[in-house]
Amino acid sequence: MTATIIDSKIAQRRGIGRGALKVSGLGLGTAPLGGLYRDLSDAEAHATVAAAWDAGVRYFDTAPHYGNTKAEHRLGDALRAYPRGDYVLSTKVGRRFVPRVTPYDPNDGWQNPLPFEAIYDYTHDGILRSFEDSQQRLGIVDIDILLVHDIGRVTHGDRHPHYWRQLTEGGGFRALDGLRSSGAIKAVGLGVNEGAVILDAMAEFDLDCALLAGRYTLLEQATLGDLLPACEKRGVGILLGGAFNSGILARGVGGDLKFNYGTAPREVVERVARLEAVCASYDVPLTAAALQFPYAHPAVSTVLTGARSADEVRGNVGSFSRPIPAALWSALRDEGLLDRRAPVPES
């Protein structure tokens, strides 16, 4: 097998926060390594990480939630083959995992998860314990970025004020600040699917970054009006997840119509069909436009893509690197499919 030629855009590093930490242009998200929708073998997980490494990916994100701790085990086992100083690693806090005592709900989306269940805990001690548990599961002491996972009304509904108080009055933010000040971690942030809670957190605490999934994509750009300008002004780096909006921008209208982890509504399917038609008229795969568009915004430090195989990694690498004519972006604007304020990639 020939070695992958590393594309300069993939390996290029952008900073987050005001520190020296920098992440590669393309990152690997590991929810698929936890068995999201379909499980994979340990060998396939290792091959996925190896393909990302060979392509120049040097930022890897995981979470205890993925596969009920399975992804952390798999990612740590794979990454220990590489020099620790050569990559950036993030994981998340906010859920502690204990041995399962209730039946597993398959609607959670994990195939063959490990036999643990989550207890939400954003308190001072809960954050510290979750961090230490992740170090153990990963088998890696030096975790670079710690993200508060799924805080917000989208996850917690009416319980959100309760968990928000755990972060504020209960000392969760204070625990993160202590870990950062001591040098145990280099950066702190949120890992969420909604923009409003990032703005709320920025008003309470000095964030370095935020992993935002699905809210700044080829399909939706509402965060251009408030969140992204605020992050750019404050130096809060956006770790852009969900560029495919849970899959619909990866497979188009002929694939599995997943949007925001559920079935795509009709208006979304119709909009994707229009995006796909414009891209096809310029001989540009929808996946290439979807991955490259968000990286043009100066607030975006990296674009994270999930993959469950080496082939999927190589497909994403090709999409991120593929030349796209400037005329495509103009056509998408003219069709009303792209916010005219949105920065676009250079041709």
Domain annotation for the chain: domains and CATH numbers: 8-251+288-326 (3.20.20.100)
- What is the C-alpha to C-alpha distance for residues 299 and 233, in angstroms, rounded to an integer? 9
- What is the C-alpha to C-alpha distance for residues 210 and 311, in angstroms, rounded to an integer? 28
Residue 5: predicted pLDDT: 59
Contact 341, 329 (CB under 8 A): no
- What is the C-alpha to C-alpha distance for residues 287 and 75, in angstroms, rounded to an integer? 25
Q: What is the pLDDT along the chain (347 residues), one digit of tens a residue?
A: 444 557 788 989 999 977 789 999 999 999 999 999 899 999 999 999 999 999 999 999 999 999 999 999 999 999 999 999 999 999 999 999 999 999 999 888 999 999 999 999 999 999 999 999 999 999 999 999 999 999 999 999 999 999 999 999 999 999 999 999 999 999 999 999 999 999 999 999 999 999 999 999 999 999 999 999 999 999 999 999 999 998 889 988 887 787 887 788 899 999 999 999 999 999 999 999 999 999 999 999 999 999 999 999 999 999 999 999 999 999 999 999 999 999 999 85
Active site residues: 61, 66, 92
Contact 30, 61 (CB under 8 A): yes
Which pTM value belongs to this model?
0.95
The Cβ of residue 44 has, within 10 Å, a number of other Cβ atoms equal to 15
Q: What string of DSSP letters covers 138-187?
A: HT-S---EEEEES-SHHHHGGGHHHHHHHHHTTSHHHHHHHHHHHTS-SE
Q: Which residues contact 314 (CB under 8 A, 6 or more apart)?
A: 4, 51, 55
Closest CA relative to residue 31, chosen from 253, 289, 308: 308
Q: How many whole angstroms from its chain centre is CA 236? A: 15
Q: Which residues contact 230 (CB under 8 A, 6 or more apart)?
A: 199, 202, 236
Closest CA relative to residue 91, chosen from 71, 111, 121, 109: 71
Q: What is the DSSP letter of 223?
A: G
Query: From residue 279, how far is each of 61, 185, 331 by CA, in Å?
Result: 30, 41, 9
